[in-house]
């Protein structure tokens, strides 16, 4: 057959395929979410996320060492505590779980980078991401607490803060609060387009943060909406976000791409607990090949345009990158 263009020519050999590859992945863009909990020498398995654990502060070292050896140098900390009340006050306590974890980890692992999730759902007795007024979360009161949390994380040594609450105006408030306390160099990574998603189910079991009543739909976004996501991203940029995030990652590639095109800041994608749990469950049943699936999901998030990839598979991915299985 006479053909001017034969796309298969560029797929004929592995060296050539790698040469013309459009998406390159580097372990320096991976961020590992780490659950830290009260107690001593603890490593509690999370039922809904096989292979993931809740570590006590003095038990985190093992995981941080493994990550560092694999080539992952950024961690996002999530605090898990029994110390809950109506207003989530332990979230900004000086001796709160994340604050203690930061004091310890910044001393023991000065070469690593610590980002903190700034939210209240792990600290409130009702499990909502803010302070309640009747049945709903009071936006403006919540934002003031979030600012207090962010400042307390910075005081404890956080390198970056990441508000995940989806309240209006929180990025501006956090930026302002950080600045007046002398933390103008601490970047804000905003969970900008965060959807009310069933993909968070396993996390809520891991963190004991499921809402006691109702759902999060008055603050997290409706997954039918695209333009609303662009509105949230534009607002966070205007409020001073240094990095914007799309969450979940899988099934939200269109928005990762749009976030990238809309902005001139780095874009992050969070491959959430439900994505992890689905891969693990299907692999355990022998329905899929785990390693190939992990690589494909990651490569597709980067292809969609993400610059940073937050994933429970960070350590595995760093290994696959080293072995040349991806990237
Ligand atoms: C806290 C928070 C959640 C996640 C990240 N930060 C849970 C939620 O919003 O319900 C989800 C992470 C995951 O599922 O891996 N608000």
Question: Residue 211 contacts by C-beta under 8 Å, 6 or more apart in sequence?
Answer: 121, 126, 127, 128
Long-range contacts of 132-135 (CB under 8 A, 24+ apart): 132/86, 135/213, 135/214
Nearest to 171 by CA among 91, 221, 239: 239
Report how far ligand 1's centroid is from the alpha carbon of 323 (Å): 31
pTM for the whole thing? 0.97
Please report, in tens digits, the pLDDT of each residue of the chain (327 residues total): 999 999 999 999 999 999 999 999 999 999 999 999 999 999 999 999 999 999 999 999 999 999 999 999 999 999 999 999 999 999 999 999 999 999 999 999 999 999 999 999 999 999 999 999 999 999 999 999 999 999 999 999 999 999 999 999 999 999 999 999 999 999 999 999 999 999 999 999 999 899 999 999 999 999 999 999 999 999 999 999 999 999 999 999 999 999 999 999 999 999 999 999 999 999 999 999 999 999 999 999 999 999 999 999 999 999 999 999 998
Give the model confidence (pLDDT) of 172-186 as tens digits. Answer: 999 999 999 999 999
* Pocket flag, ligand 1, residue 52 (CB < 6 Å): no
What tokens were used for 158?
Answer: 């956080």
Residue 306: name the closest of 181, 192, 173 by CA: 192
Greatest pairwise CA separation for the chain in angstroms: 74
Catalytic residue among 43, 84, 148, 194: 194
8-state DSSP, 38:
S
Atom 14 of ligand 1: nearest residue by CA position: 200
Q: Is 275 close to ligand 1, i.e. is its CB under 6 Å away? A: no
Indicate if ligand 1 lies below 6 Å from the C-beta of 119: yes
CB 76 within 8 A of CB 162: yes
pLDDT of residue 327: 87
| Residue 76, burial from CB neighbour count under 10 angstroms (0-12, 13-18, 19+) | buried
Q: Is 142 buried (19+), middle (13-18) or exposed (0-12) by CB count in 10 A?
A: buried
Q: Which atom of ligand 1 is nearest to the CA of 33?
A: 15
Q: What is the pLDDT, as a whole number, of residue 306?
A: 98
Please answer whether residues 145 and 130 qualify as being in contact, where contact means their C-beta atoms are separated by less than 8 angstroms.
Answer: yes
- Active-site option among 43, 63, 217, 247: 247
The reply to whether ligand 1 has any atom less than 6 angstroms from the CB of 159 is no
**194 counts as catalytic:** yes
């Amino acid at each position: 057959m006479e053909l001017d263009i034969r796309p298969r020519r560029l797929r004929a050999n592995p060296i050539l395929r790698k040469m013309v590859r459009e998406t390159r992945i580097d372990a320096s863009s991976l961020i590992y979410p780490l659950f830290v909990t009260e107690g001593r020498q603890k490593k509690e398995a999370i039922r809904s996320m096989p292979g993931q654990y809740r570590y006590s502060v003095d038990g985190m070292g093992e995981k941080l060492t493994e990550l560092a050896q694999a080539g992952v140098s950024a961690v996002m900390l999530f605090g898990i505590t029994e110390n809950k009340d109506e207003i989530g006050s332990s979230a900004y306590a000086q001796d709160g779980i994340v604050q203690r974890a930061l004091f310890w980890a910044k001393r023991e692992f000065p070469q690593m980078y610590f980002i903190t999730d700034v939210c209240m759902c792990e600290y409130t007795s009702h499990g909502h991401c803010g302070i309640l007024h009747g049945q709903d979360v009071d936006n403006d009161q919540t934002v003031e607490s979030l600012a207090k949390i962010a400042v307390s994380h910075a005081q404890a040594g956080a390198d970056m803060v990441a508000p995940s609450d989806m309240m209006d105006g929180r990025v501006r408030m956090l930026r302002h609060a950080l600045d007046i306390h002398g933390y103008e160099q601490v970047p804000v990574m905003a969970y900008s387009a965060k959807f009310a998603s069933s993909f968070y189910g396993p996390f809520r079991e891991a963190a004991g943060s499921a809402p006691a009543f109702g759902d999060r739909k008055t603050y997290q976004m409706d997954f039918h909406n695209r333009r609303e996501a662009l509105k949230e991203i534009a607002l966070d940029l205007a409020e001073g976000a240094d990095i914007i995030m799309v969450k979940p990652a899988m099934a939200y590639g269109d928005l990762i791409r749009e976030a990238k095109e809309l902005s001139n800041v780095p874009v992050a994608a969070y491959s959430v607990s439900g994505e992890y749990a689905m891969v693990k469950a299907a692999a355990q049943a022998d329905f899929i090949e785990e390693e190939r699936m992990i690589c494909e999901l990651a490569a597709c998030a980067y292809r969609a345009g993400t610059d940073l990839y937050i994933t429970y598979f960070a350590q595995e991915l760093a290994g696959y990158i080293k072995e040349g299985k991806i990237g």
